[in-house]
Amino acid sequence: MNTPPSKPLVPPRAVIFDLDGVITDTAQYHFHAWQRLAISLGLPFDEAFNESLKGIDRMGSLDRILARGGKVYSPQQKLALARQKNEHYIELISTMDSAQLLPGALQALCAVRAAGLRIGLASASRNAALVLTRLGITRCFDHVVEVAEIERPKPDPEIFLTAAQRLGVRPVQCIGVEDAAAGVAAIKGAGMWAVGIGDAEVLSHADEVISGLDQFDIQHYL
């Protein structure tokens, strides 16, 4: 078996980050919002199941939750339930501030900018702009692509390809940073170098895996 190269074959011109689990951890807010909805519907929901929703968009997550109850919901009912969850989630994230940045996140963004690279965000969240505002890092990004702007969510590569297009760089010139297997699949499907954040076994398709952005050194790729 061939050993993968330690760095991209093409020098990168941009880094495209995921948001949740990479720059900040909103998993607890999603968990509480989904759990509140599930309880109101009489459905089971725990942290283990919440983990299985990582990287999945809102409607996809809702479908998985509702499937546990066996009841059929109309598209209109699903939209209403999704709105209900989102309203509670927005209440929760409205309390966020820069203290919720994960270790090394701001330093990594500043280092990428100092190296002269473009910076993008490719998030499965429909509230990414609000989260960035609460964290005080909106200006760190040249372009932000939310799942609402695309037709096919992760693991489809569309969101990363869209980010690269808006940044004005070829996909092969991009590094993608993700904490979810679906996100890594999207990065690789886009033809980008994939850096995984978290468990190497879960993110086995990434080109490399690090524990967090405090281990991300942009100079290594240049």
On the question of pLDDT at 85 being above 90, the answer is yes
Residues annotated as catalytic are: 18, 20
Is the preceding peptide bond at 155 cis, omega within 30 degrees of 0? Answer: yes
pLDDT (mean) for 34-52: 92
pLDDT (mean) for 173-196: 97
Residue 64 backbone dihedrals phi, psi, to 5 degrees? -70, -40
* Residue carrying the six token digits 């963004």: 109
* Residue carrying the six token digits 């309203």: 87
Show the DSSP H helices in the chain as ranges: 27-40, 47-51, 58-66, 75-93, 105-114, 128-135, 158-167, 181-189
Does residue 4 fall inside a structural domain? no
pLDDT (mean) for 189-214: 96
Does residue 36 fall inside a structural domain? yes
Identify whether residues 68 and 148 lie together within a single domain: no
Number of domains in the chain: 2
Identify whether residues 20 and 68 lie together within a single domain: no
Q: Which residues pair with 146 in a beta bridge?
A: 123
pLDDT of residue 74: 95
Identify whether residues 115 and 207 lie together within a single domain: yes
On the question of pLDDT at 2 being above 50, the answer is no
Identify whether residues 53 and 41 lie together within a single domain: yes
pLDDT of residue 141: 98
Identify whether residues 185 and 107 lie together within a single domain: yes
Q: pLDDT class for 6, splitting at 50, 70, 90?
A: confident
Does residue 35 fall inside a structural domain? yes
pLDDT of residue 67: 93
Does residue 210 fall inside a structural domain? yes
pLDDT (mean) for 142-155: 92
pLDDT of residue 16: 98
pLDDT of residue 61: 92
Where in the sequence is the domain holding 21, given as residue range(s)? 14-25+98-221
Does residue 138 fall inside a structural domain? yes
Residue 86: CATH number of its domain:
1.10.150.240
- Which residue among 38, 62, 93 closes a domain? 93
pLDDT of residue 5: 56
Identify whether residues 103 and 203 lie together within a single domain: yes
Q: C-alpha 133: how far from its chain's center?
A: 16
Q: pLDDT class for 1, splitting at 50, 70, 90?
A: very low
pLDDT of residue 78: 96
- From residue 192, give the alpha-carbon distance in Å to each of 27, 115, 210: 26, 19, 17
Identify whether residues 47 and 130 lie together within a single domain: no
Strand 14-17 to 143-146 pairing: unpaired
pLDDT digits (tens, 9 = 90+) for 94-105: 999 999 999 999
Does residue 194 fall inside a structural domain? yes
Please state, rounded to an integer, the average pLDDT across all residues of the chain.
Answer: 93
On the question of pLDDT at 3 being above 50, the answer is no
Q: What is the DSSP string of 11-61?
A: --SEEEE-SBTTTB--HHHHHHHHHHHHHHTT----HHHHHTTTT--HHHH
pLDDT digits (tens, 9 = 90+) for 202-222: 999 999 999 999 999 999 999
Does residue 3 fall inside a structural domain? no
Residue 115: CATH number of its domain:
3.40.50.1000
pLDDT digits (tens, 9 = 90+) for 98-128: 999 999 999 999 999 999 999 999 998 888 9
- Which residue among 54, 69, 93 closes a domain? 93
Identify whether residues 125 and 40 lie together within a single domain: no
pLDDT of residue 165: 98
pLDDT of residue 4: 52
Identify whether residues 149 and 210 lie together within a single domain: yes
Does residue 167 fall inside a structural domain? yes
